[in-house]
Amino acid sequence: MGNKARFAVLTDLHYFSPSLTDGGRAYQLRSGSDQKCLLESGAIIDKAFTMLAGDETIDSVLICGDITDDGETVCHEEMVEKLRFLNKYKNVYVITATHDRCTDGNAKTYFGDEYQHLEDTADADDMYKYYRKFGIDQAISTYKTHLGLYSYVVKLCDGFRLLGLNDDSNGVNGSGYSPEHMQWIVEQLQQAKKEGDRVVAMQHHVVLGHYVPFLTGMGICCRDREWVAETFASNGVEALFVGHSHFQNITEYTAENGNRLVQANIGSLVGHPGPIFKVNIDDDYISMNTEYVKEFTFEGKTYNTEYLYEHSKGVVANLLNAAASGDVDEFVARCGAMGIRNEKLPKFYFLIKKLARYITTVNVGSFAKTVNRLTFGKGIDKTAAKQIADKKVIDIAYEIFLNLFDGGINAHKKGTPTYTVVSDFISIPGKIVNKLGFVPDNVKSILTEITELVHLLMDDNIDNNYYRARCTKLIEK
Ligand SMILES: [Fe+2]
Ligand SMILES: [Fe+2]
């Protein structure tokens, strides 16, 4: 029997303490503009931790940062209690990220109609104080960054090491690694190799951009990501677990020396679909599979996955429904909650309302007729449109949008009526733009990427919830 690494990975728990709100209007606006659940986060985390505590198929749980909503001290203190519970049953390894130190000054309380800025937030020293028991204290080696944050290496199990990396800052221009930090990482990887251990790693920011560049390019990735990917892969990191984007995606990278690195970008635990990412690595295969928090109890009431779906959908739906409602004040308030503030909004509300009412009510049958009239019958396949004529266009749009977070659970395979209708429609702007000579190349490339993204989300060839591959060494043979 060879060695086996068996663990679960969670990320972006964004725990929000119930003591920070009374659930009133200010909170509703905040919550309604967020993909993840806030007030319910504790209940979701408790359910996930209980599931993992009793899970005989894993030995360890890894958490890839953004543990608290915005670095609130009270959230850290309550989270540490939850981690202590889980740690009674499993090894727990945690890294922190930017949301754990409130780097954007965004920590707030929400009572009644108002929000107040919260001063009581954590700093780098607090990260060590709260989380040293979950990785740093067990470390073979640690590295303290210029911000006073820690990366560490632990022996995950026989034959395997885990690199828990803090990539909050490269010291120059964003997240990532300074040359000194990377040198320490390389030394650790060489040492592991020398002692015959295989290595998996976790950090918060994405290394391998995925889906399409305008969405998962530089913004969500750590700096110098090509260098990071090549250094990790060529020095033997076999699997890398990241969060931050809240998107679910599995991507491979092959180093110049032939080593393969698989990156799992895992969705936030407290948003749709509540992913618990399970990993099993043995001598032959590396296998990954996603399980879900299918049910949780909050304030005595039981909620299921439908609730998470509806909540995440709310990021768009709450704004659209407010636009369609006829209540201009509600619409302006919802825009404000999303950071959209423009004094001209009420002036154009009648137009916005009209458009929103059309978007939220039109069905595929009627939409396809309109599009085909405008495109002289060359827009949407009539047979496909007829087959799903009663389906609301907006519900298809929500499904596609949420596939970003669930990695394609709601994908429609190629050839299905929904795939055909969406594919036909999404390619229209590109076709028009390509015929117009004066459209700038960057506009053309964004349209191409949007088309590509929708296709990827509609019919993803790579299942982003499941992965199984022969180990690199076996491929080399
Ligand atoms: Fe996050
Ligand atoms: Fe983040």
H helical segments located in 265-392: 305-325, 328-337, 349-361, 364-374, 382-387
Mean pLDDT value across residues 78-102 = 97
Structure tokens at 372: 């085909």
Question: H/E/C letters for each residue in 182-221?
Answer: HHHHHHHHHHHHHCCCEEEEECCCECCCCCCHHHHCHHHE
pLDDT over 90 (residue 462): no
Mean pLDDT value across residues 361-366 = 97
pLDDT tens column, 321-358:
999 999 999 999 999 999 898 888 899 999 999 999 99
pLDDT over 60 (residue 65): yes
Structure tokens at 383: 């047979």
pLDDT tens column, 177-220:
999 999 999 999 999 999 999 999 999 999 999 988 888 877 79
Q: How far apart are CA 74 and CA 64, in angstroms?
A: 20
For the chain, give percent helix, strand, coil, nearest 5: 45, 20, 35
Query: What pLDDT score does 476 carry?
Result: 55
Confidence of residue 458 (pLDDT cuts 50, 70, 90): confident
Ligand 2 centre to CA of 258 (Å) is 31
Confidence of residue 477 (pLDDT cuts 50, 70, 90): very low
In the chain, the percentage of residues whose pLDDT exceeds 70 is: 98
Domain ranges of the chain: 5-302+463-476, 316-458
Q: Return residues with CB closer than 5 A to ligand 1 (ion).
A: 12, 66
Average pLDDT, the chain: 94
- Integer-rounded Cα radius of gyration of the chain: 23
pLDDT tens column, 92-123:
999 999 999 977 788 999 999 999 999 999 99
Ligand 1 centre to CA of 68 (Å) is 9
Ligand 1 centre to CA of 141 (Å) is 27
Ligand 2 centre to CA of 260 (Å) is 26
Confidence of residue 457 (pLDDT cuts 50, 70, 90): confident
Mean pLDDT value across residues 62-74 = 97
Query: Before 179, cis peptide (omega within 30)?
Result: no
**Strand ranges of the sheet holding 466-470, from the earlier edge strand across to the other edge:** 91-95, 60-64, 5-10, 275-281, 285-292, 466-470
Q: How far apart are CA 164 and CA 346, in angstroms?
A: 49
Structure tokens at 208: 């391998």
**5-302+463-476, what's its fold?**
Purple Acid Phosphatase; chain A, domain 2 (3.60.21)
pLDDT tens column, 136-152:
999 999 999 999 999 99
**How buried is residue 382: exposed, middle or buried, by Cβ count under 10 Å (0-12/13-18/19+)?**
middle
If DSSP codes are grouped into helix, strand and coil, which group holds residue 3? Answer: coil
